[in-house]
Chains A and B, each alone.
Chain A
Amino acid sequence: MTLPAPTADQIWVWIKDWLVFHTPAPFQPLASILCIVAAIIVVFASLFALTVLLERKGLGRMQNRYGPNRVGPFGILQPIADAVKSLTKEDIVPRSADHVVHYLAPLVLVAASFLAYAVLPIGRNMTAVNLDAGVLFFFAIGSATELAVFMAGWSSRNKYSLLGAMRAIAQMVSYEIPLILSSIAVVMIAGTLSTSAIVDEQARYTHGIAHWFVFTPWGLAGFILFMIAATAETNRSPFDLPEGESEIIAGYFIEYSGFKFALFFLAEYIEMFAVSGLGITLFLGGWSSPVSFLAWIPSWIWFFGKLLALICCFIWVRGTLPRLRMDQLMNFAWKFMLPMTLFVILSAGVWRFLPATIAGSGALGAVVRWLVCAFIVLLPYVTLARALESGRKIEKREYRFAE
């Protein structure tokens, strides 16, 4: 058996095959698994370091500050300094904490976050485990992080951490529904739960433009709803109530210090990448290029480019929006997100059964289908926005003592 010549697109697959090829036959399955696991952990942990730096620099610039610029040129070695700091800090466990659960919580969280990458196609032929029910696996593993969060909040035996954990559970359970419902539309159209097959479905081109689901009305609405739900699911601002530094200090990981704290931090970002990766897979065509003449750029560059773009959006939103109140959060989830995702599903169904072309009318059929589906999403959006607004009175607040 010989290996095919490496191409830029398949370079990582080739390296893995080469490494596996040079291990003794009995260890080849194990070596294959280890290669993939090591690659995922190294790549996404480095991406975490990069993101933390980007976030601090970006937020700084949004607030007209410099951001970290002391460690290394332009502060690029700041993540290393952070890592050294968190590794050398004392690990404090409260005396009355449940030691076993307290110890396990960050490990479970990180493990569950990394497991989600098993089904993400990060390039052509670069899915770690090509499950038939990949999307289902992703959401199942995503729910395991809730368990870890509650383990952390409960075992710390601290009022704030318990409060934070309760908030986290309430929020994650609420937003998991719109998250899953908005991806159901994609599953309906693609007709499969396999992430690789969903990407293959989108990596087709007509007139040089890809069949990304985000280019359809239901796909665009679904993508926005998916990303909002993903923001809430990963406890990012403006949905960072479980952490709420100003209210409950740090929420469920208040009693963690040193490296365990760093693990929570890591898991949060890893989750964010994973859910962004799923958003890319479902709506943004995974590793495919948007136009066919750019298809020569390696698929993994497309995936990580899109991922970085989404991360920048997350940072941008974090720099812009203030934290929601608990009731606003719940109202938003149940009164707005849930109905909207249901209409997205309806729109996707209509899209599936309306003919894409009407015989003899050229592009008219496609335009009609597009407009009808857009209308099905836009009408409830306007109606819901009006209805939710009507009961509220916004007045200028009079301050008696301030100012």
Chain B
Amino acid sequence: MFGEGIIQGLVETARNFFGSYVDKDRLVTVQYPEERHQLPEATRQFPFLLYDGADPEAGLRCVSCQICEKECPPQCIHIEKSKDKKPDFVGKLQFYPAVFNIDVSTCMSCQICVEVCPFDAIRMDNQFELSTSNRFAGLLYTKPELAKSNEYYRKIHPTEAAECDERRAKEAEEAKAKAAAAAAASAAKAAQAAATSPAGAANGASGNGTASTPVEQPAGKKPVTQ
């Protein structure tokens, strides 16, 4: 009534003013380029492509199925399928992307490409300092820029990556077991065939050759996937 509320308010602001010089906890501002917050695990910026092992070309998980390209709402993904095939982590022969481009100026970070990918090949990155000095260059990410190792994925999204690795290891295990069973079955068949007619044994062995190579592949790859 006599203006005592104004005095109280003035005291409050004065307390904040001096308090901010005394008590550092009051200042919640993070001085960004020098100090940084730990990014939350769920941070997502733009997609990247995952590869296993050391070689981004050979280990790229993408099989060029083009589901992400079709699902992408702003249509920022451009994929060109390869002519030949290369074996994937379970040893199955797959296509690979000859060209994989993402236009980050168009990408809206919706994560739909990640949701639809059946091969765990595309994930969301947490890099946010992506500004360029040129308006037209540097915003189209090509395969070498997009390919990032599984170790990197484990670093930025540990929980998600652990779950993914476990699932893939299981899949590889199953595929190996299946291949082994198939190999055993065909070997038994071959033995049986060899027993009935020795002339057919050579044919049977060469026929098994295609089936047994995939079994070798995951065995070599497995330590990397886990």
Contact with A along B2-41 (1 / 0, CB 8 A): 1100100110111011011100001111010000000000
In the complex, chain A residues 318-341 whose Cβ is within 8 Å of any chain B Cβ: 319-321
B1 engages A385 (CB within 8 Å): yes
- A64–B16 Cα distance when bound, in Å, is 7
B-chain residues with CB within 8 Å of residue A321 when the two chains form the complex: 6, 9
Contact call A62/B29, Cβ cutoff below 8 A: no
Residues of A within 8 A of B10 (CB): 316-317, 320
Name the contact of A61 in the complex, choosing from B1, B6, B21, B28 (C-beta under 8 A): B21
Are B1 and A64 in contact, with the CB atoms below 8 A?
Answer: no
Docked CA distance A64–B26 (Å): 6
Residues on the A chain within 8 Å of B9, using CB: 320-321
Check if A352 is an interface residue, CB within 8 A of chain B.
no
A205: CB under 8 A from chain B? no
B25 → A minimal CB distance (Å)? 10
**Cross-chain contact B28 with A320 (CB below 8 angstroms):** no
Q: Does A74 reach chain B (CB closer than 8 Å)?
A: no
Contact digits for A100-128, partner B, Cβ 8 Å, 1 yes 0 no: 00000000000000000000000000000
Q: Which of A316, A382, A385 is close to B13, meaning CB atoms less than 8 Å apart?
A: A316
Q: Is B29 touching A66 in the complex (CB atoms < 8 A)?
A: yes
Taking the complex as formed, is A65 at the interface, i.e. its CB lies under 8 A from any CB of chain B? yes
Among B2, B3, B13, B28, contact of A62 (Cβ-Cβ < 8 Å): B13
Whether the pair A389, B16 counts as a contact (CB closer than 8 A) is no
Interface residues in B, total, Cβ within 8 A:
19
A393 within 8 A of partner (CB): no
- A319 neighbours in B (Cβ, 8 Å): 13, 17
Contact yes or no, B17 A385, CB < 8 A: no
**Whole-angstrom distance from the CB of A231 to the nearest CB of chain B?**
12
Q: Mark A387-403, 1 if CB is under 8 A from B, else 0.
A: 00100000000000000
B8 to A: closest C-beta gap in Å: 9
Q: Once the chains are docked, how many angstroms separate the CA of A382 from the CA of B2?
A: 7
Report the count of interface residues on A (CB-CB < 8 A).
Answer: 17
Which residue in chain A gives the minimum CB-CB distance to B9? A320
Q: Which label, helix, strand, loop or mixed, suits the secondary structure of the B interface?
A: helix
Instruction: Confirm or deny: A386 has a beta carbon within 8 angstroms of a beta carbon on chain B.
Output: yes
A389 to B3, CA, bound (A): 11
Instruction: Kindly state the separation between the CA atoms of A388 and B14 in the bound complex, as whole angstroms.
Output: 29
Determine the chain A residues whose CB is within 8 A of the CB of B14 once the complex forms: 316
A104 CB → nearest B CB, Å: 39
Measured between alpha carbons, how far is A144 from B187 in the docked complex, in Å?
A: 106
Contact A389 B13 (CB under 8 A): no
> B211 to chain A: closest CB distance in Å?
66
Q: Which residues of A contact B12 (CB under 8 A)?
A: 320
Q: Kindly report which residue of chain B lies nearest to residue A63, judged by CB atoms.
A: B16
Minimum CB–CB distance from A189 to chain B (whole Å) comes to: 26
Could you say which of A62, A381, A382 contacts B16, with CB atoms under 8 Å apart?
Answer: A62
Cα of A251 to Cα of B87 in the assembled complex, Å: 69
Q: Is A286 close to B, CB under 8 A?
A: no
The docked-state distance in angstroms from the alpha carbon of A381 to that of B28 is 42
Q: Nearest-CB distance from B22 to chain A (Å)?
A: 11
Bound Cα distance from A65 to B21, whole angstroms: 10
Q: Is A290 an interface position by the 8 A CB rule?
A: no
Residue of B nearest to A381 (CB): B2
Q: Give, as a whole number of angstroms, the nearest-CB distance from B217 to chain A.
A: 55
With both chains docked as a complex, state the minimum distance between the C-beta of A275 and any C-beta of chain B, in angstroms. 20
Which listed residue, A58, A66, A385, touches B27 by the CB 8 Å rule? A66
**Contact status B27-A65, CB under 8 Å:** yes
Interchain nearest-CB distance for A330 vs B (Å): 18
Query: Within 8 Å CB of A66, what residues of B?
Result: 27, 29, 31
A65-B6 Cα distance, complex, nearest whole Å: 22
Q: Which residues of A contact B2 (CB under 8 A)?
A: 381-382, 385
Please give the distance in Å from A317's CB to the nearest CB on chain B.
Answer: 7
CB-nearest residue of chain A to B12: A320
* Chain B residue contacts of A61, Cβ below 8 A: 16-17, 20-21
Closest to B5 in A: A321
Q: Nearest chain-A residue to B23 (Cβ)?
A: A64
Q: How far is the CB of B73 from chain A (nearest CB, A)?
A: 33
CB-based nearest B residue for A58: B17
- CB pair A64–B28 under 8 Å, yes or no, is yes
- What B residues does A389 contact at CB under 8 A? 1
Q: Identify which of residues 347-394 in chain A touch chain B, using a CB-to-CB cut-off of 8 Å.
A: 381-382, 385-386, 389
**B12, B17, B21: most-surrounded residue (chain A CB, <10 A):** B17
CB of B42, distance to nearest CB on chain A (Å): 28
A48-82 CB contacts (< 8 Å) to partner B: 58, 61-66
Nearest residue (CB) in A for B3 is A385
Taken together as a complex, chains A and B put the C-alpha atoms of A66 and B19 apart, in Å, by 12
A58 to B16 Cα, complex, angstroms: 10
Interchain CA distance A62-B27 in the complex, whole Å: 11
Give complex CA distance A319, B17 in Å: 10
- CB nearest to A319 among chain B residues: B13
Contacts of B29 in A (CB 8 A): 65-66
**Whole-angstrom CA separation of A320 from B27 in the bound complex:** 18
Nearest Cβ in chain B — how far from A377, in angstroms? 13
Using Cβ atoms and an 8 Å threshold, which residues of chain B touch A385?
1-3
**Cross-chain pairs A/B with CB under 8 angstroms, 14 sampled:** A61-B20, A62-B16, A62-B17, A64-B20, A64-B27, A66-B31, A317-B10, A320-B6, A320-B13, A321-B6, A321-B9, A382-B2, A385-B1, A386-B1
Which are the 7 A-B pairs with shortest beta-carbon distances? Answer: A320-B13, A320-B9, A64-B26, A62-B13, A61-B20, A61-B17, A389-B1
